[in-house]
Amino acid sequence: MGAGPDGPLDPFALAVVFGARIEYLPVDVDPSDFSGMVTMRGGRPVIVLNRSMAPERRTITLLEELCHLHYRHPVEEWDGQGRQHTNAVESEAYQTGAAALLPAVVVAKAVYKNRAAADVAREYGVSTELFEMRVKVLGLWRHYQGRNAA
């Protein structure tokens, strides 16, 4: 699935494990209006993504949708209408997706080895913002801020 236990995860390979089909919106939509959703079609999960998103945002969006499947959050047959999950469910899927992309050991090593956030983010296919969110979630923010990244 990636390059060793702390290597980057390939979310498209993970989607295959879930038996999920990936599709893109056929029209250009502002990524602030729509990033992605998961639905069922003929009993099979289909993940719809917005092609206009930056690649690193596409990665976390795909992971989040896969986490909805992993947690068996309610995913319904497509009826032409997108449905919002509750905030708690969204947060569970998003945080799990972020942790799958940037495991605690990767974030902790990067912080303690003074690696530049942008380098780690690029290596793992995520945004610098997502890296920093993980630093905060893991309680390493104070240390991260006090260091001089190489």
Q: Give contact residues for Zn ion (rule: CB under 5 A).
A: 64, 90
The smaller minimum CB distance to Zn ion, of residues 56 and 64, is found at 64
Paired residues of 39 in beta bridges: 46
The smaller minimum CB distance to Zn ion, of residues 120 and 130, is found at 130
Question: What is the smallest separation between the CB atom of 7 and Zn ion, expressed in angstroms?
Answer: 25
User: What are the DSSP E strand ranges found in the chain?
Assistant: 21-24, 36-41, 44-49
Question: What is the smallest separation between the CB atom of 81 and Zn ion, expressed in angstroms?
Answer: 15
Question: What is the smallest separation between the CB atom of 21 and Zn ion, expressed in angstroms?
Answer: 17
> How far apart are the C-alpha atoms of 46 and 30, rounded to whole Å?
21
The smaller minimum CB distance to Zn ion, of residues 64 and 134, is found at 64
Question: What is the smallest separation between the CB atom of 120 and Zn ion, expressed in angstroms?
Answer: 25
The smaller minimum CB distance to Zn ion, of residues 73 and 122, is found at 73
Q: Are 69 and 47 in contact (CB under 8 A)?
A: no
Question: What is the smallest separation between the CB atom of 68 and Zn ion, expressed in angstroms?
Answer: 6
The smaller minimum CB distance to Zn ion, of residues 36 and 111, is found at 36
* Alpha-carbon torsion (74, 96, 42, 31), positive or negative: positive
> How far apart are the C-alpha atoms of 101 and 92, rounded to whole Å?
14
User: What are the DSSP E strand ranges found in 26-146?
Assistant: 36-41, 44-49
Structure-block tokens of residue 147: 């260091």
